[in-house]
Chains A and B, each alone.
Chain A
Amino acid sequence: MLNQRVSSAKFIEIKNLSKRFNSNWIIKNLSLTINEGEIVVVQGPSGIGKSTLLRCLTYLTPFEKGYIRVGSLQLEAGMDDRKHHGTILGVRQQLGFVFQSFNLFPHLSVIDNLTIGPIKVLGQTRERARKRAMALLRRIGLKHKADEYPMALSGGQQQRVAIGRALALRPKGILFDEPTSNLDPVMKGEIVDVMEDFAQDGLTMIIVTHEPAVIERMAARIVEFGPHCSIVSERILPKLLFNTPESPKENGILPELDRAAMAQAETAKA
């Protein structure tokens, strides 16, 4: 039994993972261990299975060989979504997922996007789920958009809501699948700010990205993949941002963003 409170403890262990589509092996015999609180950036040419790896980690895609341990839970090849839902659900609760194309629920308001998981999956009361969701929205600077529908938001705002939705279940880690690649530079900035902010909480993050800002500002460990997700190189950046003493939160961009958004809302009203 692993003690998950210790930051040097193993959180995710991938062992001999192999995954194929039809006869085509996407991932071959991958082994990788990630500790609690670690920020891992995954890089490599497109189409070599980085996204597939993230999907395997929460069993959105089944795999053929090997196993994945997340905390005390173990995902194995050939598990059934229905039969092993307990284990799979446990893993999904611990690992949030942020998609390249946001995938917000368009028929639900922003606040409902955040609360539907806690209410339907965790069985929380509406009030409790709303309280937590409002706190998250405040933190990502979108409290005033709570009752809007996703279509009314900019791409950056939508991706921030998607991060909020992943965090609403209080996971220990989040998987980011190219979170900024659908966004223009200004919006990319918003997302990196939010990611950086939450990294401070000690969340484990696995980020598939080519965005330089992400690497500059928050990467702790960069893993470069080659064909079939073979590890080509690995380097650890000495300076871990979440360990920096001066927090960007106080004078940082986020409160400004919040204020700017509020001002915008005010002018829109007037």
Chain B
Amino acid sequence: MSRIKLSLITIAGLGLFGLPSHANEAWNRVIQTGELRWGADSAGGAPYVFPDERDPSKMIGFEAELMNAIAAKLDVKAKLVDVAWDQLVPALMRDNFDMAFNGLEITETRLREIAFTDPYYIFSEQITVRKGDGRFHKFKDLRGHRVGTMSASLARLLMEQDGKIEIVDYPGPVEIYKDLEVGRIDAAFIDVPMAVFYAGPNPKLENVSEPVGESVYAAGIRKDSPLLLLKINEAIKELVQSGEIKKIYQKWNLWDKRQEKLKNPEKLESLKHSAPISVWQYFPFLLKGAGVTILISSLSMALAMILGFALCAAKLYGHRPLRFLANAYIELIRGTPLLIQLYLIYYGLPNIGIEINAFAAAVMGIGLNYAAYEAEIYRAGLLAVPKGQDEAARSIGMTGRQSLFHIVLPQAFRTIIPPSTNDFIALFKDSSLVSIITVVELTKMYSQAATASLRFLELGLMTAALYFAMSYPLAVWSRHLERKRQYA
């Protein structure tokens, strides 16, 4: 689509001004406005770019400093546009900013869509383990172990290519090292800057072995802006030559002798990811993710139904303290976001010595959350059954329990089914939240595949279709049940 837009604008530009091309050149706007917009993800972004602890409105980090230095060289001001890391390339192509500058590696897939500047940092991957764990010395020692990393990174690719390592994906380095501390994974394997910043000062962890692999970070720039690319390359070159870049890296503990190679960028060989050409090659992965989504959704719905019924019974038939507890639970759960609850269960409970694996935490988190909603649905359903029904049941000698199960509940079903199915459909989609606690379900699979291939649109449509294929039958089934329950 951007290509169509681009050519339309080019045609318009030709017609109006007779300009040959590059009507979209970012550099033109940069000098007009005196502002160079750069895209990065500051959430958990240390030591690249992250909010200053003492003044969160101020961004610090080696990339932030480098960016300011580059902008100064170009005599403009740098302005940060904060986006999620895996959205850097699409956002750049949408013209949300002029350059993507946040630990971006040069890959073949990305080169199809955008251009890269000369490298500004040479990085490797670092193995980190719990202090005193003597099992790991080199990359091959990771085989057969659970190793945490981030999706679409060089580290992940290296482990994928090895094929004998159990890879666990995390959204950021903080979560990786936290899980490493409590023993949910055996080692972490991520980019050196993060390992230096997070694991270095942590007394419970240590960085072992020589860094593995070698690749470079470079800034991404739209292909329609060769002038900007040129200007940035000039600025980086100057900073490397003058030693300013060395000062910045030394300050952040990131300088090593390999960085000397930055002086001859043409000799640097950047690692190339080869991505499959057809998006359909990702389909089996998405299907696998859909399987996990179905499993998690069904299990958590079952939990939500059982617990929801118990809560509803406690609220309707329990003694005062029980009623109070059930009420408090329902209100607390409904009043807080599911995302926070998942974080608390997975990352929070280990602080008090309770460790639950990711899959169980996902099922528990969603199940406990939806139980509160189910309880209210059941309660409304039970209260909608006329009181005379229970009276009639007891008048023929039934106990309260018999009346509930044989007379009241079957009638309440009809009122319960539509909102309950609605909830189940919503749950299906909410299950995508569990990707933040390392569970790889459909949405996570999509995000991995899309970040690797940059085919956000096609894969997104496929993923949406899969979700629809899972939830639509539920709606049909619910309508069927409703019709079946229409007496007479």
How many chain B residues touch A (CB < 8 A): the figure is 21
**B56 to nearest A CB, angstroms?**
59
B397 touches A105 (CB 8 A): no
Q: Which of A13-21, A40-48, A71-79, A143-151 contacts B (4 or more CB under 8 A)?
A: A143-151
B388 touches A101 (CB 8 A): yes
CB neighbors of B among A149-177 (8 A): 149-152, 165-166, 168-169
Q: Which of A115-123, A195-203, A207-215, A231-239 contacts B (4 or more CB under 8 A)?
A: A115-123
Q: A60-B391, A101-B388, A107-B411 are in contact. Are A149 and B487 (CB under 8 A)?
A: yes
Residue from the list A81, A85, A101, A121 in contact with B396, Cβ < 8 A: A121
Q: A107-B411, A148-B488, A152-B488 are in contact. Are A92 and B388 (CB under 8 A)?
A: no
Q: How far is the CA of A48 from the CA of B407 in the complex (A)?
A: 30
CB neighbors of B among A60-99 (8 A): 60, 81-82, 85, 89, 92-93, 96-97, 99
User: Which chain B residues border A92 with CB–CB below 8 Å?
Assistant: 394-397
B395 touches A60 (CB 8 A): yes
Q: How far is the CA of A78 from the CA of B90 in the complex (A)?
A: 73
Select the residue from A101, A105, A117, A122 with max chain B CB neighbours within 10 A. Answer: A105
Q: C-beta contact mask, B392-435 vs A, less than 8 Å → 1, else 0? A: 11111111101000110011000000000000000000000000
Q: How far is the CA of A237 from the CA of B380 in the complex (A)?
A: 50
Q: How far is the CA of A97 from the CA of B399 in the complex (A)?
A: 16
A82 touches B400 (CB 8 A): yes
Q: A120-B406, A149-B488, A166-B396 are in contact. Are A103 and B388 (CB under 8 A)?
A: yes
Residue from the list A96, A101, A116 in contact with B395, Cβ < 8 A: A96
**A96 to nearest B CB, angstroms?**
7
How many chain A residues touch B (CB < 8 A): the figure is 31
Q: Judge if A58 is at the interface, Cβ distance under 8 Å.
A: yes
CB neighbors of B among A198-247 (8 A): none
Q: How far is the CA of A77 from the CA of B398 in the complex (A)?
A: 21
B392: nearest chain-A partner, CB-CB? A103
User: Which chain A residues border B407 with CB–CB below 8 Å?
Assistant: 105
B388: nearest chain-A partner, CB-CB? A103
Q: Judge if A106 is at the interface, Cβ distance under 8 Å.
A: yes
User: Which chain A residues border B400 with CB–CB below 8 Å?
Assistant: 81-82
Q: How far is the CA of A165 from the CA of B397 in the complex (A)?
A: 12
Q: A103-B391, A107-B410, A121-B402 are in contact. Are A165 and B396 (CB under 8 A)?
A: yes
A89 touches B388 (CB 8 A): no
**B34 to nearest A CB, angstroms?**
74
A120 touches B388 (CB 8 A): no
A103 touches B389 (CB 8 A): yes
Residue from the list B394, B398, B487 in contact with A106, Cβ < 8 A: B487
Residue from the list B386, B396, B488 in contact with A151, Cβ < 8 A: B488
Q: C-beta contact mask, B444-488 vs A, less than 8 Å → 1, else 0? A: 000000000000000000000000000000000000000001011
Q: How far is the CA of A97 from the CA of B396 in the complex (A)?
A: 8
B397 touches A169 (CB 8 A): yes
**A244 to nearest B CB, angstroms?**
31
Q: How far is the CA of A60 from the CA of B388 in the complex (A)?
A: 11
B391 touches A105 (CB 8 A): no
A120 touches B391 (CB 8 A): no
Q: A107-B487, A150-B487, A152-B488 are in contact. Are A97 and B395 (CB under 8 A)?
A: yes
Q: A101-B388, A103-B388, A120-B402 are in contact. Are A150 and B395 (CB under 8 A)?
A: no
User: Which chain A residues border B389 with CB–CB below 8 Å?
Assistant: 103, 105
B399 touches A117 (CB 8 A): no
**B173 to nearest A CB, angstroms?**
57
User: Which chain B residues border A148 with CB–CB below 8 Å?
Assistant: 488
Q: How far is the CA of A82 from the CA of B402 in the complex (A)?
A: 12
A93 touches B391 (CB 8 A): no
User: Which chain A residues border B402 with CB–CB below 8 Å?
Assistant: 120-121
Q: How far is the CA of A116 from the CA of B402 in the complex (A)?
A: 10
Residue from the list B388, B398, B410, B485 in contact with A99, Cβ < 8 A: B388
Q: How far is the CA of A191 from the CA of B286 in the complex (A)?
A: 66
Q: How far is the CA of A174 from the CA of B410 in the complex (A)?
A: 27
Q: How far is the CA of A129 from the CA of B397 in the complex (A)?
A: 15
User: Which chain B residues border A93 with CB–CB below 8 Å?
Assistant: 397
B413: nearest chain-A partner, CB-CB? A107
Select the residue from B398, B400, B406, B487 with max chain A CB neighbours within 10 A. Answer: B487
User: Which chain B residues border A149 with CB–CB below 8 Å?
Assistant: 487-488
User: Which chain B residues border A116 with CB–CB below 8 Å?
Assistant: 396, 406
User: Which chain A residues border B397 with CB–CB below 8 Å?
Assistant: 89, 92-93, 117, 121-122, 169
Q: How far is the CA of A93 from the CA of B398 in the complex (A)?
A: 10
Select the residue from A103, A122, A149, A152 with max chain B CB neighbours within 10 A. Answer: A103
Q: How far is the CA of A151 from the CA of B488 in the complex (A)?
A: 6
User: Which chain B residues border A101 with CB–CB below 8 Å?
Assistant: 388
**A51 to nearest B CB, angstroms?**
11
Q: How far is the CA of A58 from the CA of B395 in the complex (A)?
A: 7
User: Which chain A residues border B411 with CB–CB below 8 Å?
Assistant: 105-107
User: Which chain B residues border A97 with CB–CB below 8 Å?
Assistant: 392, 395-396
Residue from the list B391, B399, B406, B410 in contact with A85, Cβ < 8 A: B399
A149: nearest chain-B partner, CB-CB? B488
B396 touches A107 (CB 8 A): no
B386: nearest chain-A partner, CB-CB? A103
User: Which chain B residues border A105 with CB–CB below 8 Å?
Assistant: 389, 392-393, 407, 411
**B356 to nearest A CB, angstroms?**
38
Q: How far is the CA of A149 from the CA of B397 in the complex (A)?
A: 22
User: Which chain B residues border A106 with CB–CB below 8 Å?
Assistant: 411, 487-488
Spell out B's residues near A (CB within 8 Å).
386, 388-389, 391-400, 402, 406-407, 410-411, 485, 487-488
9 A-B residue pairs with CB within 8 Å: A97-B392, A104-B392, A105-B389, A106-B487, A106-B488, A120-B398, A120-B406, A121-B397, A151-B487
Spell out A's residues near B (CB within 8 Å).
58, 60, 81-82, 85, 89, 92-93, 96-97, 99, 101, 103-107, 116-117, 120-122, 148-152, 165-166, 168-169
A-B pairs, top 9 by smallest CB distance, nearest first, are A151-B488, A117-B396, A103-B392, A97-B395, A149-B488, A121-B397, A103-B388, A152-B488, A92-B397
Given A82-B400, A103-B391, 4 additional A-B pairs, CB 8 A: A82-B399, A92-B395, A97-B396, A103-B389
